[in-house]
Amino acid sequence: MTTVETTRPLTEIGARDLRELPKGHLHLHLEAAMRPATLFEMCEQLGVDVPPTSGFVDFSEFGACYLALLTVLREPSNLDRLVDEVFEDQAAQGVVYVELSVSPTFYREVYGSLSAALARLIALAEAASAAHGIAFGLMPTVDRMASIEESIEVARVAVEFAGRGVVSLGLASDERGYPCRDFAEAFAIAKAAGLQAAPHAGELVGPESVREALDDLKADRVLHGVRAVEEPALVAELAERGVPLDVCPTSNVLLSVVPELGAHPLPLLLEAGVRCSINADDPLLFGPDILAEYEVCRSVLGLGDEQLAACAWTSIETTLAPDAVKAAARERIDAWLR
């Protein structure tokens, strides 16, 4: 191999094009899926300072950056634009199913109630789904730093729209001091209505948090979950039970969950038989979107095309995406591998 060849994009030297691999994007927070240019324009229009989108040194600073994004979304036309652009961007990267995490409580005041906020988000997602040709599900997400009462309220409003745009209940924000077990009632409400339980766990706290997600919340999927590697028996159990992890490599580096990309445990988890999907989490704040994350998994983590295709299939098969979406994706993944 020559030096020139090693620096050319892999697609030019005959590797399969990852854009063509049909993918589900399951771990994507709506507000931080905004285009940087859109944030600039919206701030300019509203005459407000552009909030920082990098430079956070820990999760608390990251959380503050995230909340600052909400300012521009108090203007309803900006939320309309955001949802449409997110679907356009996901479609352009080969995403065929997007499961968007959104906290309806952020929008309660502007839209009048949690129910009205979620109804508006679903209407926007339906329009964007039709315009850009990709399927979607919404994951109303509980802020674990808010009250238990609020978690139950979010679960109840999620259930109101179960099967009508809502597919799962999420749990996000700082895990430290806000354990999964505190949210058992909210997740029981969601699961009783057929929603998937999809909490963040095993990101800022170790395997005990993943264990609680499984035992106390009956998690169908775990967002992140990578710190399960600290307990081999738990890794074996995840593999055995087939509970998937919705993994976000770059996010884990920038929030110091792993020291560097090369040390990310995704290859180890896959080798142990744990089903994993590949996701971007917060592309506005971390940089890469889903396609770039797949590229990183190939070029830095050394995943082969069979493994990348398996992650893509996990990102479709383990969800409540429509059967027709699953069947079409399976065919296209097989064709991609041939």
Contacts with ligand ADE by CB under 6 A lie at 29, 66, 172-173, 200, 203, 251, 281-282
**What are the Cα distances from residue 37, in Å, to 85, 119, 127, 145, 282?**
11, 27, 22, 30, 15
Q: How far is the CB of 198 from ligand ADE (least distance, A)?
A: 12
Residues near Zn ion (CB under 5 A), total: 1
Q: How far is the CB of 245 from Zn ion (least distance, A)?
A: 12
Q: How far is the CB of 141 from Zn ion (least distance, A)?
A: 9
Q: How far is the CB of 249 from ligand ADE (least distance, A)?
A: 12
The residue count for the chain: 338
What is the C-alpha separation between 21 and 186, in angstroms, rounded? 35
Residue whose CB is less far from Zn ion, 226 or 303: 226
Which tokens sit at 11? 């697609």
What is the C-alpha separation between 248 and 157, in angstroms, rounded? 28
Binding-residue pattern over the window 258 to 297 for Zn ion, x denoting contact by CB under 5 A: -----------------------x----------------
- Per partner kind, with CB cut-offs from 5 to 8 A, the member of Zn ion, ligand ADE, none near residue 144 is none
Residues 6+ apart with CB under 8 A from 43: 49, 50, 51, 72
Q: What is the dihedral of CA 290, 248, 192, 143, to 10 degrees?
A: -110
Residue found by looking up tokens 């038989």 in the block: 273
Query: Radius of gyration over alpha carbons of the chain, in Å?
Result: 19
Q: How far is the CB of 16 from ligand ADE (least distance, A)?
A: 29
- Per partner kind, with CB cut-offs from 5 to 8 A, the member of Zn ion, ligand ADE, none near residue 313 is none
- Per partner kind, with CB cut-offs from 5 to 8 A, the member of ligand ADE, Zn ion, none near residue 115 is none
- Per partner kind, with CB cut-offs from 5 to 8 A, the member of Zn ion, ligand ADE, none near residue 121 is none
Q: Within 10 Å of residue 63's Cβ, how many Cβ atoms?
A: 16
- Per partner kind, with CB cut-offs from 5 to 8 A, the member of ligand ADE, Zn ion, none near residue 173 is ligand ADE
Q: Is 150 a catalytic residue?
A: no
Residue whose CB is less far from ligand ADE, 100 or 333: 100
Strand-pair partners of 29? 101
What is the C-alpha separation between 98 and 24, in angstroms, rounded? 6
Q: Which residues 15-74 are close enough to bind Zn ion by CB under 5 A?
A: none
Residue whose CB is less far from Zn ion, 281 or 295: 281
Pick the catalytic residue from 99, 203, 293, 295.
Answer: 203
Residue type, 313: W
CB-nearest residue to Zn ion: 281
Per DSSP, helices labelled H in the chain are: 3-7, 36-46, 59-68, 76-92, 108-111, 114-132, 148-160, 184-192, 207-215, 232-241, 249-254, 266-271, 283-286, 290-299, 305-317, 323-337
- Per partner kind, with CB cut-offs from 5 to 8 A, the member of ligand ADE, Zn ion, none near residue 203 is ligand ADE
Q: How far is the CB of 224 from Zn ion (least distance, A)?
A: 7
Please give the residue ranges that form the binding site for Zn ion (CB under 5 A). Answer: 281
Q: Which residues are catalytic?
A: 203
